[in-house]
Amino acid sequence: MLEFLARRAAAALVTLVLASVVVFVVLEVLPGDPAEVMLGTEARPDTLAALRAKFGFDRPPLERYVSWIAGLTVFELGNSHAYGTPVAKLIADRIVVTLPLGLMALTWATIVAIPLGVFAASRRGSPADWAVMGFGQLGISVPNFWFGILLVLFFAVSLKLLPAGGFPGWRTDVLESLRSLILPALALSLSEIAILSRITRSSMLDTLREDYVRTARAKGVPERAVLMKHALRNALIPIVTVAGLLAGFLIAGAIIVETVFRLPGVGQLVFDSINNRDLIVIKNIVILITACVLFVNLLIDVAYAFLDPRPKVSA
């Protein structure tokens, strides 16, 4: 078990190092002069030289890469060009919006999707099953940002129940802040609900065919207990795997959804940094998001290894 986990962790670390090389090469080596990317080709030579000196772009690439990685390990990410503040602080200020948003979306998706999938599997072939499957098909086809706009049209413009966008801040008003995350979390969770309910359904159908389920039914165990205790518990492995994978995509989805709702989260910071050509911020956020995705995947491997002893033999 330990050897399996150590191998997975080593593989994730190798991927992360490779990713950091890719990010560095794309942002700082391929364009030739990063200072020119940040200031534009028409910038004055002395301004360019000043920026190069400020961010150390005049040093050799290898030296810059090593000092960047060394900084990353202690969360010393340098200063933003556009904001003039430490990147670590910028990210810390924004993560308090993005993290609750992602968690709300994931929680909501799990609460809705798993019962929906179990329900559909228990009534296989019925109109209810078709409805759930149809919803699943629709859920993966609707872009989350459009669903967000539709939610704004309905709940904010027509019913005036929830705010259309913006975020007051946790310190200003906790309740209002929570309210302003409801629609974005709903928008973000649609495709997750669709995918998760389909996986739950098919995983449940697989386990419902197993001998122990037939035995439980033959013994007279009530259907609800058969579904929840015997089938769902064993169907959970693929569900957990997919839920974890979706967590990675939630982070990417947040970039767009935060733009729709004008939430001052990490996604908005990335978006603003692209417009400001703030390579320092982009470089660090991209590698941190990548690290998060890899870490979540590693956690799934750990969960998987605990839930099911088989994969560690084949992996």
Partner 1 sequence: MKGTFWRRAIRHPGFMLGALLVGITVAMAIVSIVWTPHPYDNLRMALKLRPPSDVYPLGTDHRGRDLLSRIMVGAQTSITVGLIAVSIGMTLGVMLGAWAAARRGWVDEILSRFSDLVFAFPAVLMAILITSVFGASATNAILAIGIFNIPVFARVTRGAALTMWGRDFVRAAKALGLGPFSITVRHVIPNIASVLIVQATIQFAVAILAEAGLSYLGLGAQPPVPSWGRMLYDAQTYLYDAPGLAIYPGLAIALTVLGLNMVGDGLRDLLDPRLRLMRVG
CB 239 within 8 Å of CB 196: yes
What angle in degrees, to the nearest 10, is found between the helix axes of 87-122 and 279-307? Answer: 40
Q: Taking a C-beta distance cutoff of 8 angstroms, is the pair 71, 65 a contact?
A: no
The vertex-23 CA angle with 21 and 28, nearest 5°, equals 95
| Torsion region of 56: left, alpha or beta (phi above 0 gives left; psi -120 to 50 gives alpha) | left
Our finding on whether 15 is near partner 1 (CB under 8 A) is yes
Nearer to partner 1, 188 or 226 (CB): 188
Residues 214-253 contacting partner 1, CB under 8 A: 245, 248-249, 251-253
CB 281 within 8 A of CB 14: no
Please select the residue that binds partner 1; options are 4, 5, 9, 16, rule is CB under 8 A.
16
Q: How many whole angstroms separate alpha carbon 99 and alpha carbon 116?
A: 25
Binding mask 151-190 for partner 1 (x = CB under 8 A): -xx---x------x--------------------------
Q: Which two three-digit tokens encode residue 278?
A: 């703030």
Q: Closer CB to partner 1, residue 213 or residue 288? A: 288
The residue within the footprint of partner 1, chosen from 1, 10, 14, 111 (CB under 8 A), is 14
Name 193's Cβ contacts closer than 8 Å, sequence gap at least 6.
Answer: 108, 109, 112, 113, 116, 139
What's the helix, strand, coil split of the chain in %, to 5?
80, 0, 20
Which CB atom, from 22 or from 111, has the smaller least distance to partner 1?
A: 22
Tell me the window of 30-38, 95-103, 104-112, 203-211 that interacts with partner 1 (CB under 8 A): 30-38
Q: Is 259 in the site for partner 1 (CB under 8 A)?
A: yes
Closest separation in Å from C-beta 154 to partner 1: 10
Who contacts 116 (Cβ-Cβ below 8 Å, separation ≥6)? 132, 135, 193, 197, 200
Smallest distance, partner 1 to C-beta of residue 261, A: 10
By CB under 8 A, residue 294 contacts partner 1: yes
Report the interface residues with partner 1, using CB under 8 A. Answer: 11, 14-16, 18-19, 22-23, 26-27, 30-31, 37, 137-138, 140-143, 145-146, 149-150, 152-153, 157, 164, 195, 245, 248-249, 251-253, 255-256, 259-260, 270-271, 273-274, 277, 279, 282, 286, 289-290, 293-294
